Structure 1
Amino acid sequence: MYDDRQEVLERHMRILEAVLFASNEPLDANSLLPFVGDGARVGELLEALQQRYAGRGVNLVRRGDKWAFRTADDLGFLLRREESETRPLSRAALETLSIIAYHQPATRAEIEEVRGVATGKGTLDLLMEAGWIRMRGRRRTPGRPVTYGTTDAFLDHFGLESLSDLPGMDELKGSGLLSGRLPATLQIPLPFDSALRDDEDPLEPDDLGSDEDHADD
């Protein structure tokens, strides 16, 4: 009986391994469940698979509530190739992204209050096009401003399991990601929770496609 159960677990892990290798983006447990069938403890299987790949050239990593195979951090240099020069994010975009990561959910006005300068619509659009931030909801305050938060793609790009892995303020300022003029009241958040806060309402479908709404928030 034990051997039969172990054989089933091994088969399930092989299936998850194959699906994750074939996927071009991280997958969550609910997306993986249909491949192994109802009743399978996908979370436990993923953790066991993660342990199996620990110390190898490829690791199974967690990004928010999703999983993906990634090259081991200490071997990344082996896969670097000469690439055409890409335009780096502007200081405004870096500061805006950092503020959203540490203050989320944040409105455009709140971002501007922390930065001390106006935030152009293009900056938020650039970060949304990169897939690093998204509109979360509308704040229950006059004007109903849109709130912004980071995404799982943000975690994946920067190699974070959750927002609790974000560097401290001194590290951010030392690396130039935050200006020294920013207040010291920024706090490292708890792991990202996609649920709306008590002071937020969900976005209506029209909100997601309205450029005017972005510019006015």
Structure 2
Amino acid sequence: MSELTERQIEALLFAAAGPLSIDDLAKRLPQDADVEAGLAALKARYEGRGVELVQVADRWRFQTAPDLSHLMTEERDEPRRLSKAAQETLAIIAYHQPVTRAEIEAVRGVQASKGTLDVLLEFGLVRMRGRRRSPGRPVTYGTTDAFLEHYGLASLSDLPGMAEMKAAGLLSLDLPPDFAIPNPGGPVSDEDPMDLDDDAAPEFHVDYLGDDQNEAN
């Protein structure tokens, strides 16, 4: 096996977009090239180095040595934007809390999907406040301190009016005609019957970050 064959195989594997089989390599090399011997020599030469030659499903490729893979890991925060449905739901909860899912649906005029509330709960912008003393004992929702911090509010009494709310980025869309802001800038209801303990709160799982059912994109 010539050194030239080894170098040619090395060049092909480094330039390839994916792993190459022996047949792939043979098609590009001179007819008398000993591909298997070249691969064996390369594997031995790179063994123990930062990059190694490995065989994966009958194909060959160079890859980072397993003990150095942590150096290739990059951690970054991926910003996630609230969907239109989530923005509307958050605004309704902020101005009408404590509010039930049925009340949110009545204001928005569409059925609220479980995923929308799950997203707001996962982001920590909304929490379960308690159960309404009414048939079915529905769970009520309210905003959290994280909501105040995110929008730069000292307290719920500092919630802005509709125009200010859009300017602050809380709303970037038009809400349904039935949406109303009760007492803009005024106190928010403190009704909070039978607060739930953390251990008593049901589990929620995020299914998706999308619009509610029956809602056009």
TM-fit CA distance, 1:136 = 0.4
Counterparts in 2 of 1:183 and 1:136: CA distance versus 1, 3 Å: same
Structure 2 vs 1, CA of residues 117 and 141 (structure 1 numbering), >3 Å: closer, same or farther?
Answer: same
Please give the secondary structure, in 1, of the residue aligned with 2:194: strand
What aligned pairs does 1:64-213 form with structure 2 within 5 A after superposition?
86-172=79-165, 176-183=171-178, 185-187=180-182, 188=184, 190-191=186-187, 196-197=191-192, 200-203=193-196, 207-211=200-204
**Cα shift readout 1:161-191 (whole Å, capped 9, x = no counterpart):** 0112222123345764452423253213645
Decide which structure has the larger Cα Rg and report it: 2
Unpaired runs of at least 5, structure 1: 1-82, 213-217
Greater Cα shift, 181-190 or 107-116: 181-190
State the TM-score, normalizing by the size of structure 1.
0.51
State the alpha-carbon separation in 1 of the partners of residues 118 and 188 from structure 2: 21
Q: 1:206 and 1:84 mapped to 2: Cα distance? A: 30
- For residues 84 and 138 of structure 1, the distance between their equivalents in structure 2, rounded to whole angstroms, comes to 35
Query: CA–CA distance in 2 between the matches of 1:164 and 1:109?
Result: 24
CA distance in 1, matches of 2:124, 2:198: 19
Runs of 4+ aligned residues of structure 1 deviating over 6 Å after TM superposition are: none
Which whole-Å CA distance do the structure 1 matches of 2:198 and 2:92 have between them?
Answer: 26
Deviations 1:13-48 (A, max 9, x none): xxxxxxxxxxxxxxxxxxxxxxxxxxxxxxxxxxxx
Aligned-residue Cα RMSD (Å) equals 2.7
- Distance in 2 between residues matched to 1:192 and 1:153, nearest whole Å: 17
Paired letter, 1:153: A
What residue identity is the alignment partner of 2:202?
G
Aligned length: 127
Structure 2: which amino acid aligns with 1:101?
A
5+ residue gaps, structure 2: 1-75, 206-217
Secondary structure of the 1:202 match is coil
Find the aligned partners of 1:84 and 1:136 in 2 and give their Cα distance.
30
Aligned-partner SS, 2:140? strand
- Of Structure 1 and Structure 2, the greater helix share is in 1
- Percent identity, aligned pairs only, is 57
User: What is the alpha-carbon distance in structure 2 between the residues aligned to residue 102 and residue 118 of structure 1?
Assistant: 19
Is the partner of 1:142 in helix, strand or coil? coil
Amino acid at match of 2:138: P
